[in-house]
Amino acid sequence: MRSQPISEQLLRLANGELPPEKAAAIQQKINESPEWKQAWDETQAMQSLLQSSVQAASEHALQPFFTDRLMRRLNNVEPEQTYAREDDLARVLWAFFRPIAVAGLVVILGLILYNTNVASEYNIDASATEAVLALPPVSLESAFELDLATTYTSVDS
């Protein structure tokens, strides 16, 4: 059987986990050895600190049946109160985003009018979608016969 470190043996003694004969042997070592005495004092100080912190934490812990009381309280909340908060939030958001939505709509309508105006001004034979989106007329033949030399002219010529 392997021997346990001093600190582990002292912790087990402080917690009362040792058999009486083993506890008596460790008590004798504590009385005889200054090293064991110092370790025992540190162990007792640590244990008292731990117990005091547990007591302090238990004073601030939730009282029994906290969840039951919380659920009862939540069930007693009037639905109108929660809906009123949601409505207030919706009004605030709408007031904030309304100018942004209007500005975006104006920009989109402006681009549509500009593109249809340009398409009609240059007599471009395009469908309504091509005119609105300012797309060049595309056919299957023009897609496969793309000639970059005629599409892009150089500065030198």
Average pLDDT, the chain: 77
Higher pLDDT among residues 141 and 117, named by residue: 117
For residues 14 and 6, is the Cβ–Cβ distance under 8 A? no
Q: Nearest to residue 11, comparing CAs of 52, 50, 53, 43?
A: 43
Residue 2 tokens, joined: 């392997």
* pLDDT greater than 80 at residue 107: yes
Q: Nearest to residue 40, comparing CAs of 54, 51, 50, 30?
A: 30
What's the rounded Cα separation, in Å, for the pair 71 and 66?
A: 9
* pLDDT greater than 90 at residue 102: yes
What are 122-140's pLDDT values in tens digits? Answer: 776 777 777 777 776 667 7
What's the rounded Cα separation, in Å, for the pair 72 and 77?
A: 9
* pLDDT greater than 90 at residue 103: yes
The Cα-based distances of 116 to 65, 78, 98, 104, 136 in angstroms read: 70, 55, 27, 19, 12
Going from N- to C-terminal start, the domains of the chain cover 6-59, 83-151
Within 8 A by CB and 6+ apart from 33, the residues are: none
What's the rounded Cα separation, in Å, for the pair 88 and 86?
A: 5
Instruction: Provide the pLDDT confidence category of residue 61 given band limits of 50, 70 and 90.
Output: low
What's the rounded Cα separation, in Å, for the pair 42 and 50?
A: 12
Neighbours of 10 (CB within 10 A): 24
| This prediction's pTM | 0.37
